[in-house]
Amino acid sequence: MSDEPCFDISQFGAEVRRVLVVAAHPDDLETACGGTVSLLIRQGIEVALLLGTDGDIGTHDLSFTRESLAATRRQETLAAAAQLGLKEVIFLGRHDGELVPDLALRAEIASAYRRLQPDTVFTFDPFWAGQAHPDHTAAGRAAVDAYMPSKMELYHAEQLVDGVKVADVKRFYFFGGSNREGEITIDISSVWDAKVAATRCHVSQFGQKEEALQWLAEWNRETGKCCGIDYAEAFHSMQVW
Ligand SMILES: [Zn+2]
């Protein structure tokens, strides 16, 4: 049992108005923070998604090509986004398994920070040594790396046209989980069904079999145990200025 209290979603409302989720793969948002995103949207907070890759190696079904899988997964992403009520999805279209936090990725994320003006970014924790997927680390790394230059007028000044201003990101929330303590635990029990429905839009990944999302239920139940709640998502915060 942790001493950490469960963080009430309404506490986000005072300081969080616009959220950008920086993810690596089409189903990352739904599985890592789909419940929290659903709760935020229900509070009137705008949430958009920036997606690094199309998830174009994410199958063992060899009737797919990389191209056809990418196209399928974009459609699934848009279906899930509509289900959740996301404001926008930005597809960067990198290849799955090859996302790197290079200068081009940094600039593309900075452009999204400037155009969408999120005050809050949800992403993978680039500092977590237990992360096994390099695309996840890369997405988190590039999201943090884009923060500082996106505030500066002389960085990619060509992005600052048509009323687009420098960015003003105030805080990051990194996805946590049951295998390590999150400092913020959100009770998602009331939107568990919405999270499952959005996740199930990724048919190529989870099909319609009941047991396909058993791992997700176990993960979110385990995360909730610290607070004695049914289903939870956890986050680590990083304050910037
Ligand atoms: Zn992923």
- Going residue by residue through the chain (241 aa), what tens digit of pLDDT does each one get? 445 557 677 666 678 999 999 999 999 999 999 999 999 999 999 999 999 999 999 999 999 999 999 999 999 999 999 999 999 999 999 999 999 999 999 999 999 999 999 999 999 999 998 899 999 999 999 999 999 999 999 999 999 999 999 999 999 999 986 656 667 889 999 999 999 999 999 999 998 787 899 999 999 999 999 888 999 999 998 889 7
186 Cα–ligand 1 center, Å: 21
pLDDT at 2: 46
- Taking a C-beta distance cutoff of 8 angstroms, is the pair 76, 204 a contact? yes
Q: How many CB atoms lie within 10 A of CB 218?
A: 11
Whole-model pTM? 0.95
C-alpha–C-alpha distance, residues 19 and 140, integer Å:
15
CA of 93 to the centre of ligand 1 (A): 14
Eight-state DSSP code of residue 180 = B
- Residue 239 C-alpha to ligand 1 middle, in angstroms? 24
CA of 91 to the centre of ligand 1 (A): 14
Distance 82 CA to ligand 1 centre (A): 20
What distance in angstroms lies between residue 160's CA and the mean position of ligand 1's atoms?
Answer: 31
Q: How many angstroms is it from 57 CA to the middle of ligand 1?
A: 11
pLDDT score recorded for residue 180: 63
Q: How far is the CA of 173 from the centre of ligand 1 (A)?
A: 16
What pLDDT was estimated at residue 227?
84
pLDDT of residue 207: 82
Q: How many angstroms is it from 22 CA to the middle of ligand 1? A: 11
Centre of ligand 1 from the C-alpha of residue 215, in Å: 15
The reported pLDDT for the residue numbered 121 is 97
Residue 136 Cα to ligand 1 midpoint, Å, equals: 6
Core vs surface per residue 9-45: b (16+ CB within 10 A) or e = beebeeebbbbbbbbbbbbbbbbbbbbbbbbbbeeeb
